[in-house]
Structure 1
Amino acid sequence: MNIQTSAAPATTPLGGGRGDASDLVRGVSPVLAVPFTDTGDVDVAGFHRVVDYVLGTGVTSAMFPGFASEYYKLTEDERRELTGILLSRTAGRDDFAAIVAVQDHTTRMAVARAREVVDAGADLINLLAPHFLNPSRRSQIEHITAVLAAVAPTPVVLQYAPAETGSSLDAATVAGLVAAHPNLRLVKVESSPPGRLIAELAALDPPVTALEGYAGVQLPDAWRRGAVGTQPGCSFTEIYVEIWRRLSTGDEAGGEDLHRRLLPYISYWMLDTELIIAAEKQISFRRGLIASPYCRKPAHVLDAEELRRIEVFLTEFADLLPDLP
């Protein structure tokens, strides 16, 4: 189980102490998509382009693999190869944090994968608790605890995605985990709406840092309640960067206005996870970032109206979304 990269081990925190790689997970932190060929093979060269594109947008962190990466459709070898590509590009950088996700259902496998990617150079772990066949809350906490202990002091982002997993999480539980495992540094909140939990986490003593997910549907509200960043897909990263820039530099009205323009699109696409994956793939294809919008089956097939609306989207935001070579 080896990921081949030239990365340095991530067990040495960037800056030491609390000033480690988790401090780079601020603003927009995209989830990397995996391009496929028209026949469904992984487009390795295309993934290199995706990584280069994201690094070029000025963000300081990115995550792979996530739901937006179709991680559940990748083989073990594909997942390792693509993770290695990301880590080879971020090795040695003190201005960018590579977040590698661990979604294994079995605690033994999750611990092994987490250790493997930390040894390969991951700056942070993104941990999704087990959810298949509805494990007990106690089992989920034990799973989270085992991974936190296995990778300490590497920082961990705990992903809370109740719509996709059916799991439940509260601030008191998080507070207990943080007290026992201080390398739990962030919670990615994808409840709908996320704001209340984000505010409850921010009010803890000490406060727990939160990211907003779910394609940024509630981004301004999450920002007002204390979220330090958002973690959407990567096909139109520039729009999210501009929204966050406006919000964080005193132009709240401008950030709200740009988000209001984006909201009709992302709120529709987020009605189904496979729908937004297909839409983002189509946007990346139309921008020239990837060579094919193919999604591995089972997948959402965009109909004529959905494709038309993507063209409307690209026209409306053309000033922020240049064609990519």
Structure 2
Amino acid sequence: MTHDIKGVLPVVLMPYTEDGARVDEDDFLAQTEHMFDVGCDGFVVGQVSEVLRLTHEERLRVAELSAKAARGRGVSIMSTGAETPNAAVEYSRHAQEAGVDALLVMHPATIPLDDAGMVAYYSKVIEAVDIPVIVHHAKSLAKQPLSIAAQVQLLEEYGEERVLFKPEAQPTPPRVSQLRDATGGRARIFEGDGGMMLLDCHRRGLTGTIPATEIAEIVIALWNLLEQGRRAEAERIGHPLSYLMCHMMNSTDYYLSIAKRFLKERGIVKSTHVRGPSRHVLDDETWTEVHHTYQNLLSLAKEFNR
């Protein structure tokens, strides 16, 4: 199904019960329904899904929920990276057996790996499964960037049907071009900064973009305009979206505190709970500013998605 892994694939924001004791499965499915209803090609369970804060049993269950939610409507992609290759292989095999369409695999976050270590880690996971693997470099968690040469090595070894890329090492746009050029345009690359750099990255040869649930229809409108070559109209969405992301992307918890409040206000989830330990409390003045920007973006999205 590699040909279908493209376009706008938002990340589910993990919904919890009000006390945070368990995943709210109904609200998980409500998010995926919302994404498909507004025209997304599929969805992802990623790092902003608080995947590292899930219990082992919850991670297994979420993979099963993902396969169920996407069946017949689009693609499901499950995050299966871990601190050891053995653990990553276990999560990856389970996700494949559950029926997800692809894997998003992040590198270990606690130990810095050089290129040889990164290639060995990813190779073990890729060889353990049959479905495509998106190699995810998470800039906020990586001890050192995954080099272009290492990514090229993985592509040459396993091919573009098996290996895709979500590079986040900064500055992102020129690194997208470097990966594109180093692979002769073969690398299938996804932008992953909430659409912040989509105006620039799209023209460099993206396969898709991975935002999050709360901006799904906003990014759908932006992506479609860019695909149609309507740059001036795309800027009407892309510029305020970048401003919104400047507010939200100060940290993962900061992002979640805002995004989940957006979703609750819209009736897509019931709780704004962020599983702790969390170090952020959203202040009223920030909320007023981001809410105003968000409402304007939703209005623009409605205009262009007609």
For the criterion TM > 0.5, the same-fold answer is yes
**Aligned match for 2:292, one of 312, 316, 320:** 312
Matching residue of 1:14: none
**Alignment-mate amino acid for residue 179 of structure 1:** E
Identity %: 25
Matching residue of 1:178: 155
1:320 and 1:33 map into 2 onto residues whose CA distance is 23
Matching residue of 1:51: 32
2:154 and 2:163 map into 1 onto residues whose CA distance is 10
Matching residue of 1:12: none
- C-alpha contact 1:314 1:321 (8 A) present in aligned 2: no
**Alignment-mate amino acid for residue 232 of structure 2:** A
- C-alpha contact 1:131 1:167 (8 A) present in aligned 2: no
Where 1:62 maps in the other structure, the secondary structure is: strand
Would you tell me which structure has more helix in proportion to its own residues? 2
Is the aligned partner of 1:144 residue 2:147?
no
Where 1:168 maps in the other structure, the secondary structure is: coil
From the superposition, tell whether residues 144 and 53 of structure 1 become closer, same or farther in structure 2 (CA, over 3 Å).
same
- C-alpha contact 2:47 2:79 (8 A) present in aligned 1: no
Q: Please report how far the alpha carbon of residue 165 of structure 1 lies from its aligned counterpart in structure 2 after TM superposition.
A: 1.7
1:196 and 1:311 map into 2 onto residues whose CA distance is 31
What 5-or-longer segments of structure 1 have no aligned partner?
Answer: 1-20
From the superposition, tell whether residues 174 and 254 of structure 1 become closer, same or farther in structure 2 (CA, over 3 Å).
same
Where 2:57 maps in the other structure, the secondary structure is: helix
Correspondence 1:66-77 to 2 at 5 A: 66-77=46-57
Matching residue of 2:66: 86
**Aligned match for 2:244, one of 243, 259, 265:** 265
Is the aligned partner of 1:156 residue 2:133?
yes
- C-alpha contact 2:115 2:147 (8 A) present in aligned 1: no
**Alignment-mate amino acid for residue 205 of structure 1:** G
Matching residue of 1:112: 90
**Alignment-mate amino acid for residue 101 of structure 1:** S
Instruction: Note the aligned Cα RMSD (angstroms).
Output: 1.8
**Aligned match for 2:2, one of 22, 27, 36:** 22
Is the aligned partner of 1:166 residue 2:143?
yes
Q: Please report how far the alpha carbon of residue 48 of structure 1 lies from its aligned counterpart in structure 2 after TM superposition.
A: 1.7
2:36 and 2:69 map into 1 onto residues whose CA distance is 9
Q: Please report how far the alpha carbon of residue 321 of structure 1 lies from its aligned counterpart in structure 2 after TM superposition.
A: 7.0
Q: Please report how far the alpha carbon of residue 139 of structure 1 lies from its aligned counterpart in structure 2 after TM superposition.
A: 2.1
From the superposition, tell whether residues 241 and 321 of structure 1 become closer, same or farther in structure 2 (CA, over 3 Å).
closer
Residues 216-237 of structure 1: CA deviation (Å, up to 9, x unaligned)? 2111111011112110111120
1:82 and 1:96 map into 2 onto residues whose CA distance is 17
What 5-or-longer segments of structure 2 have no aligned partner?
Answer: none
- C-alpha contact 2:39 2:217 (8 A) present in aligned 1: no
Matching residue of 1:274: 253
Is the aligned partner of 1:96 residue 2:74?
yes
Residues 151-184 of structure 1: CA deviation (Å, up to 9, x unaligned)? 13x1111011223222312222212111111244
1:202 and 1:314 map into 2 onto residues whose CA distance is 32
TM-score, normalised by the number of residues in structure 1:
0.86
- C-alpha contact 2:196 2:245 (8 A) present in aligned 1: yes
Q: Please report how far the alpha carbon of residue 320 of structure 1 lies from its aligned counterpart in structure 2 after TM superposition.
A: 5.2
2:288 and 2:86 map into 1 onto residues whose CA distance is 46
**Aligned match for 2:42, one of 27, 45, 61:** 61
Matching residue of 1:16: none
- C-alpha contact 1:283 1:310 (8 A) present in aligned 2: no
1:272 and 1:310 map into 2 onto residues whose CA distance is 15
1:136 and 1:185 map into 2 onto residues whose CA distance is 19
- C-alpha contact 1:201 1:209 (8 A) present in aligned 2: no
- C-alpha contact 2:247 2:290 (8 A) present in aligned 1: no
Matching residue of 1:240: 219
**Aligned match for 1:231, one of 194, 200, 210:** 210
From the superposition, tell whether residues 298 and 321 of structure 1 become closer, same or farther in structure 2 (CA, over 3 Å).
farther
1:113 and 1:294 map into 2 onto residues whose CA distance is 25
- C-alpha contact 2:237 2:297 (8 A) present in aligned 1: no
Q: Please report how far the alpha carbon of residue 36 of structure 1 lies from its aligned counterpart in structure 2 after TM superposition.
A: 1.5
Count of residue pairs brought into register by the alignment: 298
